[in-house]
């Protein structure tokens, strides 16, 4: 009986202790902040840094075998990163490529194709909005005319600095205008508990190709390109090699075009040395942006962020230098436009790798959302494929086709949001459809004919039908979007 009483007392004591503990837990406020919860998820602790360069052709980078020493800093970065050999951008020019990056969708969906009229639909969530809601600090610094609050593309940035003056006829603004602002921002946020998403555009390689030493690779040149201002703030779309110059060179009829631009094109065409120097001027600009990128990377290292961040170097689109009779990127989706660099360094990566699989610009935001562990909820909109398995070296089934689509930036004030250029490729062949050409299809063996000199539509009917079927399927997939 005595033992039974002792047992009852012990049980009652334990019960009282448990009840008291439970009461304390119920009464104690939850002081864990959402940032603390985020910190518990290691994948959400990754900083993200994207360096997006305007008009950078991957075949003009030294580590890809280019004859001029254009890119020592990017070369060095690539040696400890993953380079994607068969990467395509989404479109032929800046605005739709920005939109594809921030929405993870194709131009047929986001419809950001007309500079003066496009506005991002509220139904599309931006990458930076998602990351902001996932408790990232988000910031962007740009010198591009196309990233504005008015068109909705910068929704979700806590901080956004665009040094481009509204309404200016400058092609772009040098990254040098934002450089110190970026460095100050990194210093102020390097010790934050919250991870950050930092998006930078480097626009110096936009035509007419800015650098401190434009004659670096052609010092003896004397000619019409000497008239181009060597200060971006003094340059305009009307300069030799500028936007209007490219349009007229490319055969566009521009109402009320300044006589000077028309005469400049005629003068330019008189001597092949001018095209040679335009390319040399571009290469000097590539060398200039390589220096800027090197300074960005050095600053990231200085702030002890290099091994704590996913770092991506890529390009909006490439540039044409007489291929198919075209200059610049006002029209055309040949390889000189679509094939741009994609270099990704994961935190603490030491060895460089090259990936051969077909990849595309809409894969970038999908990869970033996957790396942060939040892609699943947004997979219906962010339709690209996460590149994480390829970054890890996994051997998995991969996509057989990639696509690109564009609406040329021609001057007639077309209000239609429809694309007029569409391309698909597999591991060897590429088919292009141009809505505005009498013979709209062009088929190339880009493995054996990378310059796309021989149209194989008639000589390779089976390949043509295969890729045309993919283009038709692509069109149907987005017909009602």
Rounded-to-integer distance, Cα 102 and Cα 112, Å? 11
CA distance between the termini of the chain? 81
Closest to 336 measured CA to CA, from 401, 253, 273, 430: 430
Query: How confident is the model at residue 28, as a pLDDT?
Result: 33
Q: In the structure encoding, which two tokens stand for residue 98, read together?
A: 């920005």
Q: Which pTM does this prediction carry?
A: 0.90
Query: How confident is the model at residue 6, as a pLDDT?
Result: 46
Q: How confident is the model at residue 238 (pLDDT cuts 50, 70, 90)?
A: confident
**Backbone φ/ψ region at 322: left (φ over 0), alpha (ψ -120 to 50), beta:** left
Closest to 60 measured CA to CA, from 297, 291, 428, 341: 341
Give the least confident one: 33-47, 178-192, 289-303. 33-47
State pLDDT tens for residues 51-109. 999 999 999 999 999 999 999 999 999 999 999 999 999 999 999 999 999 999 999 99
Rounded-to-integer distance, Cα 217 and Cα 278, Å? 10
SS3 content of the chain, % helix, strand, coil (to 5): 40, 15, 45
345 against 171, higher pLDDT: 345
Query: Which helix H or strand E contains 399, and what residues bound it?
Result: none
Q: How confident is the model at residue 453 (pLDDT cuts 50, 70, 90)?
A: very high
Mean pLDDT calculated for residue range 398-404: 97
Query: How confident is the model at residue 13, as a pLDDT?
Result: 45
Query: Which helix H or strand E contains 136, and what residues bound it?
Result: none
Query: How confident is the model at residue 411, as a pLDDT?
Result: 54
Q: How confident is the model at residue 22 (pLDDT cuts 50, 70, 90)?
A: very low
Query: How confident is the model at residue 169, as a pLDDT?
Result: 84
Query: How confident is the model at residue 431, as a pLDDT?
Result: 98
Percent of the chain with pLDDT over 70: 89
Task: Report the mean per-residue pLDDT for the chain.
Answer: 89
Q: How confident is the model at residue 418 (pLDDT cuts 50, 70, 90)?
A: confident
Closest to 171 measured CA to CA, from 122, 241, 117: 241
Q: In the structure encoding, which two tokens stand for residue 447, read together?
A: 């493995």
Rounded-to-integer distance, Cα 190 and Cα 168, Å? 34
State pLDDT tens for residues 118-158. 899 999 999 999 999 999 999 999 999 999 999 999 999 99
Query: How confident is the model at residue 43, as a pLDDT?
Result: 54
Closest to 436 measured CA to CA, from 414, 421, 423, 417: 421
Query: How confident is the model at residue 415, as a pLDDT?
Result: 62
State pLDDT tens for residues 276-328. 999 999 999 999 999 999 999 999 999 999 999 999 999 999 999 999 999 99
213 against 478, higher pLDDT: 213
Looking up tokens 């000619």, which residue turns up?
A: 223
The b/e string for 285-323 (b: 16+ C-beta within 10 A; e otherwise) is: bbbbbbbbbbbbbebbeeeebbeebbbbbbbbbbbbbeb
Whether the pLDDT of residue 27 is over 80: the answer is: no
> With contact defined as beta carbons under 8 Å apart, do 433 and 423 qualify?
yes
Q: How confident is the model at residue 429 (pLDDT cuts 50, 70, 90)?
A: very high
CB neighbour class for 243 (10 Å; exposed up to 12, middle 13-18, buried from 19): buried
Whether CATH 3.40.720.10 fits 42-394: yes
Give the least confident one: 38-47, 344-353, 383-392, 419-428. 38-47
Q: In the structure encoding, which two tokens stand for residue 38, read together?
A: 């985020």
Rounded-to-integer distance, Cα 233 and Cα 169, Å? 10
Of the CA atoms within 13 Å of residue 236, those in its CB half-sphere come to: 7
């Amino acid at each position: 009986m005595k033992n039974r009483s002792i047992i009852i007392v012990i049980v009652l004591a334990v019960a009282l202790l448990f009840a008291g503990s439970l009461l304390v837990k119920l009464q104690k406020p939850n002081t864990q902040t959402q940032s603390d919860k985020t910190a518990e998820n290691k994948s959400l602790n990754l900083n993200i840094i994207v360096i997006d360069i305007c008009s950078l052709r991957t075949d003009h980078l030294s580590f890809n075998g280019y004859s001029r020493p254009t890119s020592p800093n990017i070369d060095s970065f690539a040696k400890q990163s993953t380079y994607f050999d068969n990467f395509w951008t989404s479109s032929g020019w800046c605005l739709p490529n920005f939109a594809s990056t921030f929405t993870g969708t194709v131009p047929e969906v986001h419809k950001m194709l007309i500079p003066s009229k496009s506005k991002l639909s509220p139904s599309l969530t931006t990458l930076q909005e998602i990351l902001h809601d996932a408790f990232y600090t988000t910031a962007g610094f740009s010198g591009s005319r196309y990233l504005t609050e008015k068109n909705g593309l910068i929704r979700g940035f806590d901080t956004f600095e665009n040094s481009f003056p509204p309404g200016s006829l400058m092609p772009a603004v040098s990254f040098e205008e934002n450089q110190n602002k970026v460095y100050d921002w990194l210093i102020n946020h390097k010790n934050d508990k919250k991870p950050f998403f930092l998006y930078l555009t480097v626009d110096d390689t936009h035509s007419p190709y800015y650098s401190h030493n434009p004659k670096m690779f052609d010092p003896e040149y004397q000619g019409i390109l000497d008239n181009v201002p060597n200060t971006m703030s003094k340059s305009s779309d009307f300069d030799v090699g500028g936007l209007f110059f490219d349009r007229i060179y490319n055969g566009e009829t521009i109402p009320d075009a300044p006589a000077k631009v028309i005469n400049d094109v005629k003068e330019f065409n008189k001597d092949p040395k001018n095209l040679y120097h335009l390319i040399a001027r571009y290469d000097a600009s590539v060398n200039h942006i390589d220096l800027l990128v090197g300074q960005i990377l050095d600053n990231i290292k200085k702030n002890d962020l290099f091994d704590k961040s996913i770092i991506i170097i890529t390009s909006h689109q490439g540039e044409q230098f007489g291929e198919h009779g075209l200059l610049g990127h006002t029209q055309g989706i040949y390889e000189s436009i679509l094939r741009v660099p994609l270099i990704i360094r994961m935190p603490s990566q030491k060895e460089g790798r090259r990936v051969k699989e077909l990849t595309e610009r809409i894969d970038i935001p999908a990869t970033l959302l996957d790396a942060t562990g939040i892609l699943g909820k947004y997979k219906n909109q962010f339709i690209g494929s996460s590149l994480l398995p390829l970054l890890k070296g996994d051997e998995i089934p991969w996509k057989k086709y990639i696509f690109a689509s564009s609406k040329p930036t021609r001057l007639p004030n077309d209000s239609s949001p429809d694309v007029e250029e569409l391309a698909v490729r597999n591991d060897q062949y590429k088919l292009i459809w141009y809505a505005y050409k009498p013979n709209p299809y062009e088929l190339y063996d880009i493995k054996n004919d990378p310059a796309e000199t021989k149209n194989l539509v008639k000589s390779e009917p089976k390949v043509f039908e295969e890729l045309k079927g993919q283009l038709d399927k692509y069109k149907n997939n987005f017909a009602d979007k």
